[in-house]
Chains A and B, each alone.
Chain A
Amino acid sequence: MIDLSVDLGFLKLRNPVLAASGTFGYGLEFLPLVDLEKLGGIIVKGLYFGPREGNPPPRLVETAGGLINAIGLPGIGVEKFAEEILPRLRKIDTVVFVNVCGESEEEYIKVVEFLDRQQGIAAYELNISCPNVKKNGLCPALDPKSTESLIRRVKAAGRRPVIAKLSPNVTSIVEIAKAAEEAGADGISLINTLLAMAVDIETRRPKLGNILGGLSGPAIKPIALRMVYQVASAVKIPVIGVGGIMSGADALEFLIVGAKAVQIGTANFVDPAASVRTVKEIGEFCERQSIQNIAELIGTLKI
């Protein structure tokens, strides 16, 4: 039996495959097609304290090898999540991470303080990098100081581990990652979407209601991989790789450059069972390569 479990330090996962926030709803939507107990875990859609509307449509546009979204983090808010979603997720044997959002540092703290009182959450993924909620894609993860300040305050306020989800839209990803580590983050998710746009040449209008959006899908995988490689060799906390992973082979690239786990995002739309398929494909690879324990493979890039 091949051991696919990975250790994030603060938490052991049964395998390294997580479903990425924003592409997996609140998890329950996928129950008809995905056995959540076969995944390393799920990261539910970003939650602000209250319910949110999100951006005007069009919210999605397809581009070569990818998808630009400007959804704008609509959601049900933490109270409804705790009342309606969490009790159902608690009955399923899977690790639940909650992606935490805020308009201000105070809101992030308020969300974490509320969720700290709920059972059935393993850790928080701080969404400090969504490009679709402020003008021009502004977010805390663009600046090391605001990254550090926010993580420090959230860590002080809450009792659970905190993973910082970082933005690729920066000059030096290593600098931001180090700021997150310095502030006490327990892990780093890399990467959120790349700030992008598309134009309708007939009408000369932007194809997205929000003008700008975030690019995801196979088109961004090489950039995500490069950033995970750079960051994994620069920080001690675990790095979770995300960005364009469509298969076990894609996921394995991230593990080899040093990611302790990976997230499946846009692929969930194309193939709703992509996450469990990825777990299976990683297992098959290990069997073929006679790898007994997936941990043996992590960070083994030969240069």
Chain B
Amino acid sequence: MMQDARAKIIFKHSWGDYFLFRLESPQIAKKAKPGQFLMIRVNDQPYPLLRRPISIHAADNKNLEIFFQIAGRGTAILAEKTEQETLDILGPLGNGFRLDAVYRARTAFLVGGGRGIAPLYFLGIELQKLGAGVLTLYGGQSLPDIPLKEKFKESGLDILCSTDDGSHGFRGFVTGLLEAELRRRKPESLFVCGPDLMMKRTADIALRRNIPAQFSLESMMGCGFGACWGCVRRIKKDDTGEWRKICEDGPVFSAEEILWDKDSHD
């Protein structure tokens, strides 16, 4: 069940536009599952008015981590917060990755683009605890856009990186790296988070190769817990599909469910 808590920032680190906060919030941290998110209030002023949905990057019994990129007015204000300040956080929200598939996955590829890497670290740690073989594929435009690569390695998670400009790892999109790896081995599950176009391409690859894949979607949200119906995506139902709430019904959906072309703004 969600809680509204005051969480102290006990650690902050930044890499350019990317930020990592560790937040002290035992109540929420204990309940958090990979793929869930927080609604964070960035100020008590009327603009920006709404909370910002930020995925949970890591959690233990005491602390939560968030990893985010400055993407607009709200995250810019959030990035200014300093250690020892407290944040008003609401969570854990959403369903997270579907655990039946997580438990079944003996080998999994985690595919993250840019800030979409955030929830995959938490998932990777949990999969590792379950004894699964996990490979993370992490892509960004350039070397500064893949700041978490060392963190994965330090946690014992195998990771391969791609950059669009070739400044580090595979040259090209992370979907290209994925295709190259899939020619070598086939995982039992894909877990994906990143820009819409990257996720759409990954869904095409997963469906073509018949690999179960789950996608964590991003959206602006009003409330974050199903009350406002503001964050919807077209999800398969009968012939035409239906608008489903990302916050309450997601944010994770499977490759077969998401009707990418109906509402993506690529």
Q: Which residues of A contact B (CB under 8 A)?
A: 22-25, 29-30, 32-33, 45, 53-54, 56-67, 69, 71, 74, 217-219, 246, 266, 268-273
With beta carbons under 8 angstroms apart, the residue of B47, B220, B223 that contacts A64 is B47
Check B50 against A71 for contact (C-beta < 8 Å): no
Asked if B229 lies at the interface with its beta carbon under 8 angstroms from chain A, I say: yes
* Shortest 3 CB-CB contacts between residues of A and residues of B: A25-B227, A60-B230, A65-B46
For the complex, is B233 an interface residue (Cβ under 8 Å from A)? yes
Check if A269 sits within 8 Å of B47, measured CB to CB: no
Chain B residues within an 8 Å CB radius of A246: 46
Known A-B contacts A32-B1, A32-B2, A33-B2; the reply to A270 vs B230 at CB < 8 A is no
Cα distance, A272 to B224, chains bound together (Å): 10
CB<8 Å pairs between A and B, sample of 22: A25-B228, A32-B1, A54-B229, A54-B243, A56-B263, A57-B231, A57-B232, A57-B263, A62-B47, A62-B220, A64-B46, A65-B46, A65-B47, A65-B49, A67-B50, A71-B230, A74-B229, A74-B243, A268-B227, A269-B51, A269-B223, A269-B228
Kindly provide the distance from the CB of B225 to the nearest chain A CB, expressed in whole angstroms.
6
Pairwise interchain contact B230-A218, C-beta atoms closer than 8 A: no
- The answer on a CB contact under 8 Å between B230 and A59 is yes
Q: A54-B232, A57-B232 are in contact. Are A62 and B227 (CB under 8 A)?
A: no
Asked whether any CB of chain A lies closer than 8 Å to the CB of B226, the reply is yes
Q: Contact: A59 with B48, CB < 8 Å?
A: no
**Total residues of chain B contacting the partner, CB 8 A:** 29
A45: which B residues are within 8 A, CB to CB?
A: 229
Q: Does chain A have a CB within 8 A of B242? A: yes
With A60-B220, A269-B50 as known contacts, state yes or no: A71 contacts B4, CB within 8 Å.
no
Interface contact A59-B231, CB-CB below 8 Å: yes
Q: Let me know if B61 is at the binding interface, CB within 8 A.
A: no
Q: How far is the CA of A6 from the CA of B51 in the complex (A)?
A: 33
B33 part of interface (Cβ distance < 8 Å): no
CB distance from A264 to the nearest CB of B (A): 12
Task: Please judge, given known A-B contacts A54-B232, A218-B46, A218-B49, whether A268 and B243 are in contact too, CB under 8 Å.
Answer: no
* Cβ–Cβ < 8 Å partners of A59 in chain B: 229-232
Residues of B near A60 (CB, < 8 A) are 50, 220-222, 228, 230-231
Q: How far is the CA of A166 from the CA of B220 in the complex (A)?
A: 28
Residue of A nearest to B219 (CB): A57
> Taking the complex as formed, is B3 at the interface, i.e. its CB lies under 8 A from any CB of chain A?
yes
A208 to chain B, nearest CB (A): 11
A270/B2 contact (C-beta < 8 A), A60-B222, A69-B222 known: no
Q: B134-156 CB contact bits vs A (8 Å, 1 = yes)?
A: 00000000000000000000000
Kindly report which residue of chain B lies nearest to residue A64, judged by CB atoms: B47
In contact, B49 and A32 (Cβ under 8 angstroms):
no
Tell me the minimal C-beta distance from B127 to chain A in angstroms: 29
Assess whether B22 is interfacial by the CB under 8 Å rule. no
Check B41 for interface membership: any CB of A closer than 8 A: yes
CB neighbours (8 Å) of A219 from chain B are 46
Pick from A30, A269, A271: contact of B222, CB under 8 Å = A269
**Beyond A30-B227, A54-B232, A74-B229, is A62–B2 a contact (Cβ under 8 Å)?**
no
How many Å lie between the Cα of A266 and that of B230 in the bound state?
12
Chain B neighbourhood of A64, CB < 8 A = 46-47
Instruction: Please name 8 further chain A to chain B contacts, defined as beta carbons within 8 Å, in addition to the given A33-B4, A59-B229, sorted by A numbering.
Output: A33-B3, A54-B229, A54-B232, A57-B263, A61-B220, A62-B47, A69-B228, A272-B225
